[in-house]
Amino acid sequence: MSTKKSGAAMRLITMLLEGVFGSVESIIEGVIASAKKTTSDIIRKVARSVFALFLALLGIIFLLVGGARLLSMALQRPGLGEVVVGMVIFVVALVLYASTREDN
């Protein structure tokens, strides 16, 4: 009789543990799936942003080179447009650096 009771108790404990482990396993699988989806979404957004930034920078380069050439042609002085555009970019960079610098 004692063996039957201990066997039944073991089956009950086994069923209880299987249920608990199954629940924990399904929770972990859900967390992993969520993390994979979130990571994939973040990577996709970063890739789009980097590509858009690359295209914007490429466009700015073409605009600056074209503007410098037009300025050189308008002033009838070869190279003067490039110098003027370079100085403007330098001044803008200095202003941005000064405005973003932390005071120590």
- Tell me the pLDDT tens digit for each residue of 29-68: 999 999 999 999 999 999 999 999 999 999 999 999 999 9
What phi-psi label fits residue 76: left (phi over 0), alpha (psi between -120 and 50 degrees) or beta? left
Tell me phi and psi for residue 42, to 5 degrees: -65, -45
What is the pLDDT at residue 52? Answer: 95
Is 81 in contact with 68 (CB distance < 8 Å)? yes
Residue 102 has pLDDT above 90, yes or no: no
Q: Average pLDDT of the chain?
A: 88
Tokens 């690359």 found at: 54
Q: Which residue has the higher pLDDT, 3 or 78?
A: 78
Token digits for 34? 């969520």
41 closest CA partner among 53, 30, 51, 49: 49
Comparison of pLDDT for 72 and 9, the residue scoring more: 72
